[in-house]
Amino acid sequence: MTGPARPGYDAVVVGARCAGSPLAARLAAAGWSVLLVDPAPPPADTLSTHFLYPNTVARLAELGALERIEAEHRLNPAIYAARFLGHEVVGDFTPVGGFDRMYAVTRPVLDSALLDVALAAGAETRLGRRVTGLLGGGDDADPVRGVVLDDGETVAARWVVGADGRASTVARLLGLAKREPLAGGMGFLFSYWSGLPASDRFQLEVLESETLTVCPCEDDLSIVLLGVVPEDTRGDAAGRQRRFRAGVDRFAEWFDPDALRRGEQRSPVRVAPESMLRGFFRDAAGPGWGLVGDAGHFKHPNTAQGISDAIEQALEVADRLIAHDSLDGYGAWRDERAREHYEWSFQFGRLPDPAVAGPIFAGLAADPAAAQDFRDSFSRLKRPRSDVMRDDRLAAWFGAGAAG
């Protein structure tokens, strides 16, 4: 049973994290009445990448979230330092908004700052409440007109935007199918550590059988992340801990495993199974509704584009609604922006075939301009296929490999 609808909002945003909060903040700052709904809001954690490239750091500064984070935490800007099958690609990024390094920020810290920005802009909240139904079917004959909450409250709204992740309730209630699925070939084991040696590097090594990422987060916290074959994410906590430590030991040439013995493990080994990392698109918008972030489109996390996508889509949706009260064209914009990066993320989401990856990474390591383009593809200044893995470069790299 539902209660009577309360006076309506201009927008209800379902999800108060890195997609929903920037959207709510931008709309509220423009004078819209906005309600944020989230059953498990920040500072609760969520399974996620942490890595922010310069384009996203600049967005956080623009939104006012970076200032809030820096007021409470020490951030640790990092250069990109990767070794792919023995070939090193190391350096800064082309500056965006004055930022030429990447950051790693845990989600409780990031999402709390973004929620604070939304609240300061005037957004209202129903935190701890869950959406259980939609008012309206979401088509031309019956547009979405609001939401039903788990306590029976009915909230009317001109727009409902799902910013509620891969398993989006809004998408499910609309009956939206996943399309264009892609799958990678690895899962992840990861843990947080303190007391590791000070570092200004996002450090990645890729072997044929597994990958290792080590990066400083905020304050004295670091993340250590092992990319593994899917079966290595299974089993009990003790088994995952053993596999994690044994895996890190195999990267001794690139990362000193004794650093973990001298440091303090701040969390159990957590798991991101391959089955949770499969990509898709959903329809982006319809009469009275829209989707932003992972609710509408999910890339493989190995290229860490999810937070950037969430913020960019949120601001795009907000700007379209403020200017035109319409999301016509938003889906085409989202899909075009995502296209090359979607396929590329899943190429990175598989363990490398040396016959293919070897010449590519040898070529990147030997060509500073190509290496810069490669790094800048993470900031969306370059496209992975059109600008980095160009036909002329691939021909030269594979020709050099054959000649060698």
241 is a domain residue: yes
Residue with tokens 């509220």: 28
CB 121 within 8 A of CB 67: no
62 is a domain residue: no
For the beta carbon of residue 386, count every other beta carbon within 10 angstroms: 11
pTM of the model: 0.95
Which structural domain range is residue 304 located in?
5-50+106-181+278-344
Return all residues near 305 (Cβ < 8 A) that are at least 6 apart: 299, 341, 345, 378
Give the tens place of pLDDT for each residue, 163-178.
Answer: 999 999 999 999 999 9
Give the tens place of pLDDT for each residue, 279-300.
Answer: 999 999 999 999 999 999 999 9
- Tell me: do 336 and 254 sit in the same domain: no
Confidence of residue 49 (pLDDT cuts 50, 70, 90): very high
Residue 158 and residue 181: Cα distance in Å, rounded?
A: 31
Structure tokens at 202: 């996002």
Of the residues 276, 298, 324, the one at which a domain ends: 276
- Tell me: do 290 and 340 sit in the same domain: yes
What is the tally of helices (H) and strands (E) in the chain? 12, 21
CB 221 within 8 A of CB 194: yes
What is the mean predicted confidence (pLDDT) over 308-318?
99
Given a cut of 90, whether residue 6 has pLDDT beyond it is no
Of the residues 252, 276, 300, the one at which a domain ends: 276
What is the model's pLDDT at position 3?
44
- Tell me: do 19 and 138 sit in the same domain: yes
β-bridge mates for residue 43, sequence order? none
What is the model's pLDDT at position 58?
99
Give the tens place of pLDDT for each residue, 56-115.
Answer: 999 999 999 999 999 999 999 999 999 999 999 999 999 999 999 999 999 999 999 999
- Tell me: do 286 and 194 sit in the same domain: no
- Tell me: do 261 and 290 sit in the same domain: no
- Tell me: do 245 and 370 sit in the same domain: no
- Tell me: do 305 and 205 sit in the same domain: no
- Tell me: do 33 and 134 sit in the same domain: yes
56 is a domain residue: no
What is the model's pLDDT at position 4?
45
77 is a domain residue: no
What is the model's pLDDT at position 7?
60
Give the tens place of pLDDT for each residue, 224-257.
Answer: 999 999 999 999 999 999 999 999 999 999 899 9
> Residue 232 belongs to a domain with what CATH number?
3.30.70
What is the model's pLDDT at position 319?
99
> How distant, in Å, are the alpha carbons of 180, 206, 212, 329, 345 from that of 84?
28, 5, 11, 39, 16
What is the mean predicted confidence (pLDDT) over 191-207?
97
3-state secondary structure 165-198: CCCCHHHHHHCCCCEEEECCCCEEEEEEEECCCC
Given a cut of 60, whether residue 1 has pLDDT beyond it is no
What is the model's pLDDT at position 401?
55
Confidence of residue 122 (pLDDT cuts 50, 70, 90): very high
- Rounded to 5 degrees, φ, ψ at 198 are -55, 140
71 is a domain residue: no
162 is a domain residue: yes
Residue 28 and residue 329: Cα distance in Å, rounded?
A: 22
What is the model's pLDDT at position 78?
99
- Tell me: do 333 and 364 sit in the same domain: no
Domains: count for the chain = 3
- Tell me: do 209 and 248 sit in the same domain: yes
- Tell me: do 336 and 285 sit in the same domain: yes
- Tell me: do 359 and 330 sit in the same domain: no
Structure tokens at 240: 């995952």
The mean pLDDT value of the chain amounts to 96
78 is a domain residue: no
